[in-house]
Chains A and B, each alone.
Chain A
Amino acid sequence: MSVIYLLIGISICVAIGFFVAFIIAVKSGQYDDDYTPSVRMLFDDEIKKTPKTEIQTIKEKQI
């Protein structure tokens, strides 16, 4: 049963790991603005929709 020392040791270490991650996140200001990132993450797909292809086709026609 002494394996319990090891298991609890590991579980505490994992918990401390998350705790440190939390502290770092707060320190870097990630919790200061809790709204903008939720909107920002929706943008990435939209930006690619730029009509660059259109410009290329025009060039091809000129050639």
Chain B
Amino acid sequence: MDTQNCFHCGLDIIKSEEIIFDHKSFCCNGCKTVYEIFSVNDMTCYYDFENSPGSTPLDIAGKYEFLDNEEIISKLLDFQETATAVVSLNIPHIHCSSCIWILENLQRLQEGISSSQVNFPEKKVRISYNSDAVSLKTIVYLLSSIGYEPYISLENYETGKDNVDRSLTYKLGVAFFCFGNIMLLSFPEYFELTEFWLDTFKPFFRSLIFVLALPTFFYSASDYYVSAYKSIKSRMLNIDIPIALGIIVMFVRSVVDIVFDYGPGFFDSLSGLIFFMLLGKMFQIKTYSFLSFERDFKSYFPIAITRINNDTSEESVPIYDIQKGDRLLIRNQELIPVDGILISDKTAIDYSFVTGEADEITKKSGDKIFAGGKQMGKVIEMEVLHSVSQSYLTQLWSNDVFQKKFERNHKTITDTISRYFTPALLLIAFASFTYWIFIDTNTAFSVFTAVLIVACPCALALTAPFTMGNVLRIFGKQQFYLKNALVIEQLAAVDVVVFDKTGTITTNKKSNIVYEGEALLNKNILQLKNVLRASNHPLSRMLYDMLPESSKIKTTYFEEIAGNGILATIDGVKLQIGSASFVENIIESDHLQTAVHIKIDGKYLGKYIFKNQYREGIESLFKNLNNSYQIKVLSGDNEGERAVLEKLLPQGTELIFDQKPEQKLNFIKQLQDNGHNVMMVGDGLNDAGALAQSNVGISISENVNVFSPACDAILEAKQFDHLNYFLKLSKKAMLTIKMSFVLSLCYNIVGLSYAITGKLDPLMAAIIMPLSTITIVSFVTAMSNYYARKITK
């Protein structure tokens, strides 16, 4: 078991910090402790299902004190009666089968837990426990101690039990049941219509088919009638009108056929049609239930905060109970939930969430601090100025964009087609009716209905759902998660791409200085730090900030050679710090990389590499995008980075700095008013307004499970350089849809030629309908898969 990676969490082990326990190596004490807990409880088969499945438990002392508050607990619980309680906790770390196993065996770690069940796609665990024997707080601490810290935010506090909408599943089930049975019962009629025994049983078979068709017609297809009615009311001809018309005509004609014994009717085609269309709907709905696309500040805010009462006692109170004048205690890394005044001496606050500015801001006693900042210093006290709903940050959400749950009046490609399709269809139907009425009234009616039946744009309506559904899945596999299938169409229409700077084209990761070479002794690091203190070079400053705090040693000799490096003597040791040519007379191997080389007492030791803080592949991405899109960069930061960005980005890229969240929103709006389709790529809350306003808002996230503001799509940060690929593929998806429209129109023309000449019989309909459906579905799936592979990343 001599691995370089931690047995528990799989991270690389730093040699000096390696901990060997039970013949296994661990990267830190936390991981070792989790292993100990598991091995004491005979639960080491946690490690059998997956290699190094765990995560390092973080220090959470005091973070969940609010779980002592009965009122808060009762809001979090799904169910409580006498001593039995059930709680659903969101655990972002759930990612493999080991996680499922350990979380479903919690009762072996903690008495009082009766059972637990994991919902993997939603990354949730549902725990039922005995609230007399164990408290929710104990459970949360237990979970955190084994590396599965639950994510509890203000959102959990408000949402009640959400009702899952399963009506589509029911409708599909009903349609399938009826379709199958009707098909079975229709079989005798397909083959022979004159045989004696069939004539005897015909009424029985037909009435049974009729009864089976009723639930499909009235229940399963009900959405189409509603949608058709709505679209007529709003004077928009969408695809559901000809569908609903086709279904209704089919039903009425079949009833007439059966009652007057003209024929077997079209109930088989009718139920099949409804079934396939519902199947398409189902396929299109691919939800990433572990992601949330509707997040607002509530998912970021803690659920409770520590209040200091007048008698200096501390108490956890729900955030909504905070009033003006209260005194709050904010710990390190906690989010400030309300606007207030700092009482403690001083602190640093990270506002990157709100403003997008990366630097921490130092606040002194008496300064105003705003909600949304993360407290980076020691424990502070503050006095409340506004309640939560009146704080500066939360007021952003009173902007119109967030108020209405509006459906943007986006015309889908299917609707655009149907604007021509529906009138054309009606025209053909009436034309053939008027032609036949002079020859034979009966045939005229039958032709009229046959036209409407056969032209029912089933294949047309299925094209988009299946293409989009498939592309949605292809995107999902590459960690680009869309809110729904409509987004693909909007992606294809985009012509302006707006990027946020901080956190979007730059990374948030602070640790971008790494050391490479022979390990430095602690003594050397100490000397290095002291030498660097005297230098003003930006790289020296960055390196100085990164090295650990140390005691002061006096430098005996110091010389800084501009453009080269530092020569210094300290502790009797000669240090050479600087560029490769200066230190070692070698040429930098990788000129894109910035490095500081170290030589001590004439011996070359290694180099500190400064990783580019811009995301990888950004240059080529922008170059590719620049061919077909206008690119703009919006930033909450000041102009400091302008020169670097201008060098990095293609010429003509518009750079706009010092943008507040509202200004970003207005900028997008302005572009849209000028007739552009805007895609906004951002992160964090400061972009929330712009993301909501844009046609397509994409949120970049380092950890898709936790942080992402309301948006249309979430992109895993690692896949950022594939953005162009996704845009290209969405365009190809639209092309696929158009091709398949042509194909399905061909089917319609063939069907219509039978209908107009009065030759359409039920068997013909029963063949054409599934045939067209299956070919269309396989065509679009094959095409979109082909494009997904063909387009280069």
Residue from A19, A33, A47, A51 in contact with B120 in the complex, judged by beta carbons closer than 8 Å: A33
* Nearest chain B CB to A19 CB, angstrom units: 5
A39 to B122, CA, bound (A): 15
The answer to whether the Cβ of A59 comes within 8 Å of any Cβ in the partner chain is: no
Contact with B along A41-56 (1 / 0, CB 8 A): 0110011011110000
A40 to B122, CA, bound (A): 16
Nearest B residue to A34, CB-CB: B121
Contacts of A19 in B (CB 8 A): 173-174, 177
Report whether A43 and B164 are in contact in the complex, using a CB–CB cutoff of 8 Å.
Answer: no
The answer to whether the Cβ of B260 comes within 8 Å of any Cβ in the partner chain is: no
Contacts of B45 in A (CB 8 A): 46-47, 49
The answer to whether the Cβ of B321 comes within 8 Å of any Cβ in the partner chain is: no
Which residues 4-63 of A have a CB within 8 angstroms of B? 4-5, 8, 11-12, 15, 19, 22-23, 26-27, 29, 31-36, 39-40, 42-43, 46-47, 49-52
Contact with A along B568-602 (1 / 0, CB 8 A): 00000000000000000000000000000000000
Stretch at the interface among B200-208, B677-685, B724-732: B200-208
Contacts of A22 in B (CB 8 A): 173, 177
Contacts of A52 in B (CB 8 A): 42
* Nearest chain A CB to B501 CB, angstrom units: 38
Stretch at the interface among B99-107, B421-429, B474-482: B99-107
* Nearest chain A CB to B687 CB, angstrom units: 32
A46 to B45, CA, bound (A): 7
Contacts of A8 in B (CB 8 A): 185, 204, 208
Report whether A47 and B105 are in contact in the complex, using a CB–CB cutoff of 8 Å.
Answer: yes
Contact with A along B303-315 (1 / 0, CB 8 A): 0000000000000
Report whether B166 and A31 are in contact in the complex, using a CB–CB cutoff of 8 Å.
Answer: yes
Report whether B208 and A23 are in contact in the complex, using a CB–CB cutoff of 8 Å.
Answer: no
* Nearest chain B CB to A25 CB, angstrom units: 10
* Nearest chain B CB to A33 CB, angstrom units: 5
Report whether B173 and A26 are in contact in the complex, using a CB–CB cutoff of 8 Å.
Answer: yes
Nearest B residue to A9, CB-CB: B208
Contact with A along B182-207 (1 / 0, CB 8 A): 00110000000000010011001000
Contact with A along B38-53 (1 / 0, CB 8 A): 0000100100110000
Contacts of B197 in A (CB 8 A): 1
Report whether B97 and A42 are in contact in the complex, using a CB–CB cutoff of 8 Å.
Answer: yes
Contacts of B180 in A (CB 8 A): 15
Q: Given A49-B45, A50-B42, does the pair A32, B119 have CB atoms closer than 8 Å? A: yes
Residue from B42, B169, B201 in contact with A31 in the complex, judged by beta carbons closer than 8 Å: B169
Report whether B48 and A46 are in contact in the complex, using a CB–CB cutoff of 8 Å.
Answer: yes
Contact with A along B94-130 (1 / 0, CB 8 A): 0001001100110000000000011111100000000
A29 to B201, CA, bound (A): 41
The answer to whether the Cβ of B170 comes within 8 Å of any Cβ in the partner chain is: yes
A12 to B118, CA, bound (A): 37
The answer to whether the Cβ of B535 comes within 8 Å of any Cβ in the partner chain is: no
A40 to B174, CA, bound (A): 30
The answer to whether the Cβ of B443 comes within 8 Å of any Cβ in the partner chain is: no
* Nearest chain B CB to A53 CB, angstrom units: 12
| Interface majority SS (helix, strand, loop, mixed), chain B | helix
A40 to B180, CA, bound (A): 32
Contacts of B772 in A (CB 8 A): none
Nearest A residue to B117, CB-CB: A36
A29 to B120, CA, bound (A): 14
Residue from A33, A40, A50 in contact with B104 in the complex, judged by beta carbons closer than 8 Å: A40
* Nearest chain B CB to A49 CB, angstrom units: 6
Nearest A residue to B173, CB-CB: A22
Contacts of B42 in A (CB 8 A): 50-52
A34 to B286, CA, bound (A): 13
Residue from A5, A11, A26, A39 in contact with B100 in the complex, judged by beta carbons closer than 8 Å: A39
Report whether B101 and A43 are in contact in the complex, using a CB–CB cutoff of 8 Å.
Answer: yes
Residue from A29, A36, A39 in contact with B164 in the complex, judged by beta carbons closer than 8 Å: A29
Contacts of B174 in A (CB 8 A): 19
Report whether B181 and A12 are in contact in the complex, using a CB–CB cutoff of 8 Å.
Answer: yes
Contacts of A42 in B (CB 8 A): 97
Q: Given A31-B166, A39-B100, does the pair A4, B181 have CB atoms closer than 8 Å? A: no
Residue from B97, B105, B204 in contact with A5 in the complex, judged by beta carbons closer than 8 Å: B204
Contacts of B170 in A (CB 8 A): 23, 26
Report whether B105 and A33 are in contact in the complex, using a CB–CB cutoff of 8 Å.
Answer: no
Report whether B204 and A35 are in contact in the complex, using a CB–CB cutoff of 8 Å.
Answer: no
Report whether B104 and A23 are in contact in the complex, using a CB–CB cutoff of 8 Å.
Answer: no
Q: Given A5-B204, A15-B181, A47-B45, does the pair A26, B166 have CB atoms closer than 8 Å? A: yes
Report whether A1 and B200 are in contact in the complex, using a CB–CB cutoff of 8 Å.
Answer: yes
Report whether B120 and A35 are in contact in the complex, using a CB–CB cutoff of 8 Å.
Answer: yes
* Nearest chain B CB to A56 CB, angstrom units: 13
Nearest B residue to A49, CB-CB: B45
A14 to B243, CA, bound (A): 32
Report whether A33 and B121 are in contact in the complex, using a CB–CB cutoff of 8 Å.
Answer: yes
* Nearest chain B CB to A59 CB, angstrom units: 16
Q: Given A43-B101, A46-B45, A51-B42, does the pair A33, B119 have CB atoms closer than 8 Å? A: yes
Contacts of A50 in B (CB 8 A): 42
Nearest A residue to B101, CB-CB: A43
Report whether A36 and B100 are in contact in the complex, using a CB–CB cutoff of 8 Å.
Answer: yes
A49 to B185, CA, bound (A): 53
Contacts of B119 in A (CB 8 A): 32-33, 36
A22 to B173, CA, bound (A): 8
Nearest A residue to B181, CB-CB: A15
A42 to B49, CA, bound (A): 10
Report whether B177 and A39 are in contact in the complex, using a CB–CB cutoff of 8 Å.
Answer: no
* Nearest chain B CB to A28 CB, angstrom units: 11
Contact with A along B11-52 (1 / 0, CB 8 A): 000000000000000000000000000000010010011000
Nearest A residue to B94, CB-CB: A36
* Nearest chain B CB to A16 CB, angstrom units: 8
Among A15, A19, A36, A50, the one with the most B-chain Cβ atoms within 10 Å of its Cβ is: A36
Residue from B101, B121, B173 in contact with A23 in the complex, judged by beta carbons closer than 8 Å: B173
Report whether A40 and B100 are in contact in the complex, using a CB–CB cutoff of 8 Å.
Answer: yes
* Nearest chain B CB to A11 CB, angstrom units: 8
Contacts of A29 in B (CB 8 A): 164
* Nearest chain B CB to A46 CB, angstrom units: 5
Contacts of B166 in A (CB 8 A): 26-27, 31
A51 to B175, CA, bound (A): 52
* Nearest chain B CB to A18 CB, angstrom units: 8
A34 to B169, CA, bound (A): 14
* Nearest chain A CB to B43 CB, angstrom units: 8
Contacts of A32 in B (CB 8 A): 119, 164
* Nearest chain B CB to A52 CB, angstrom units: 8
* Nearest chain A CB to B115 CB, angstrom units: 12
Among A29, A39, A42, A49, the one with the most B-chain Cβ atoms within 10 Å of its Cβ is: A39
Contacts of B48 in A (CB 8 A): 46
Contacts of A1 in B (CB 8 A): 197, 200-201
The 6 closest A-B pairs by CB, nearest first: A36-B120, A50-B42, A33-B119, A39-B97, A19-B177, A35-B120
Known: A46-B45, A52-B42. 16 other contacts (CB 8 A): A12-B208, A15-B181, A19-B177, A22-B177, A29-B164, A33-B119, A35-B120, A36-B100, A36-B118, A36-B120, A39-B97, A40-B100, A43-B101, A46-B48, A46-B49, A50-B42
Can you sample 11 A-B contacts with CB below 8 Å? A1-B200, A8-B208, A11-B184, A22-B177, A26-B166, A31-B169, A32-B119, A39-B100, A40-B118, A43-B100, A46-B48
